Structures are given as structure tokens and as C-alpha cells.
Amino acid sequence: MRGDGRFVGAGDRMTPESDSNSGDAFGRALMAEAPIVLAVARATLMHESDAWDVLQTTLEIAIKRRDQLRNPLALRAWLLTIESRECFKLRRRLKRMVSLDDSVAEFRFSSGSQFDVVAVREALDELPPRTRQAVVLRHLAGLSVAEVASASGTSVNTVRSQLKTGLRRLREESA
């Protein structure tokens, strides 16, 4: 990345190169963040195919709005802000739809599934959506509290309260 905040270069190392390479670098940067975006979408929506849907939409929007990314160092927070809005819109849209399937809690468990993934997903599912979103953005995606607040469109104090509540319930569940 360059000091002026534009993605440039080819290969894994960002180096000053011509602008013609900036698309490649931005695409690579997006794909590097894609696992985080997908994991957050899964934990937030608790629906496998909807999570992929949101991942796809988030990356499409990021491509279209790439000029709005002021600080490339904040790419993840920027992507997750887009994703949070898409998740919110999706949840709102689904409320209006009559679902013909019962796969809201559907997950595709890959052969790599392990540890307490299932138990933690179940515990997360018990949290209110906003609280779950705060916990996931903070502790799965590694955003700061301020970034979580910005992504969620709420205040820092609200996020802190949500995190306190969410973590307390997760601790109780895992005790």
C-alpha cells in the first residue's frame, strides 16, 4: 500500500507500482479478508447459504465503492461495516418472507470442524442478534470496540454493554 491510501503492486508484497496493478492488489486484499467476512456472516446469520450470499454481496459492494475506503489499513472494519448492514437488511427482508424451509440453523460442517465450534454456535444462537453481532465482530473478527460501534451504527457504550452481557452468557454456557 502507498502512503496515499491506494492499493498498488503485484504479488503478496505491496510495492509501489503502476496504477494498472491496483485492481489486482485490491482484489487480493479483499480475498484475504473473505474468510473473516464469511465466518462473521455465518456466526451472525446462522444460515449457511445466506452467509455465502452476504459474502458475495459484501465483496461486490466493496468493489463498487472502493474509492470510499479512506484508510486501507482499516479494510477489515470497512468490509465488516458493509457486511453488518447487509446482514441487517437480509434479516429484515427475511422477516417479510414466508420461509418454506426450516433450515434457518443449517450449517455445513466441513471435515475440519472441531473443538467447541458446535457448542459455541449454539450458545451464540441464544444471544439477541445485536449482542451476538457485537461479540462476533469484537472477538471473532478482532475489531476494536469503536470499530464495532461504527459497524453496528450504535454507540461505544452500547457496544460495551452488549459485549459485557454477551460474554457473561457465553461464560455461563461454557462453565
Partner 1 sequence: MSSNNHADDTFHQDEMVPPQVVGAFAAEIEIARADIESSGFQFGDPDTAPVGRSRQHRAALWVSVGVAAFAVVILGVGVGLWPLLPASHSGAADRYSDGIPTTWNGQPVLRGEDAIVKAKSATDDTPFYVGLWASPNQAHGSGSDQLSTELDGTCRDMSSVGDQAGIPSPNLAAAIRFNTASMTPGPVIVNVHAHDAAAADCTAGHRQECDGVMVGDQIVWNGDSGTAPQPVSPADVARVFGVQESDLQNLCQSLPGTRAYPLGDGYGSMVMLFPTSAAVAAVAPQAAAQASADGSASSTSSGLAECAFNSDEGPMAVIWFARANVLVEVNRPAALAPTSDSLLNQVPQLLRTLPDH
Q: Is 34 in the site for partner 1 (CB under 8 A)?
A: yes
Report d(CA 97, CA 91) in Å as an integer: 10
Residues 172, 7: Cα–Cα separation, whole Å: 44
Q: Please report how the helices 48-64 and 75-96 are oriented relative to each other, as an axis angle in degrees rounded to 10.
A: 130
For residue 129, CA distances in Å to 74, 88, 135 come to 24, 9, 10
Cβ distance to partner 1 smaller for residue 18 or 114: 114
**Distance of alpha carbon 87 from alpha carbon 67, whole angstroms:** 22
Minimum gap (Å) between residue 16 Cβ and partner 1: 19
Q: Which is nearer to partner 1, 2 or 139 (CB)?
A: 139
Q: How far is the CB of 78 from partner 1 (least distance, A)?
A: 9
Q: Of the two residues 74 and 130, which places its CB atom closer to partner 1 in the complex?
A: 74
Distance CA 150, CA 79 (A): 12
Among 145, 131, 45, 36, which residue's Cα sits nearest to residue 80?
Answer: 36
Q: Does 18 interact with partner 1 (rule: CB under 8 A)?
A: no
Amino acid at the residue 150: S
Q: Is 24 in the site for partner 1 (CB under 8 A)?
A: yes
Residue from the set 51, 69, 82, 134 that interacts with partner 1 by CB under 8 A: 51
The H-assigned helical ranges of 97-155 are: 117-125, 129-135, 145-152
What count of other Cβ atoms lies within 10 Å of the Cβ of residue 80?
A: 30
- Residue 23 makes contact with partner 1 by CB under 8 A: yes
Residues from 151 through 170 that contact partner 1 (CB under 8 A): 156, 160, 163-164, 167-168, 170
C-beta separation of 11 from 29 below 8 A? no
Q: Which of 2, 14, 17, 56 binds partner 1 (CB under 8 A)?
A: 56
Asked if 105 interacts with partner 1 (CB under 8 A), we say no
Q: Which residues bind partner 1 (CB under 8 A)?
A: 23-24, 26-28, 30-31, 33-36, 38-39, 42-43, 47-56, 59-60, 63, 73-77, 90, 93-94, 97, 99, 108, 110-117, 119-121, 123, 139-147, 156, 160, 163-164, 167-168, 170-171, 174
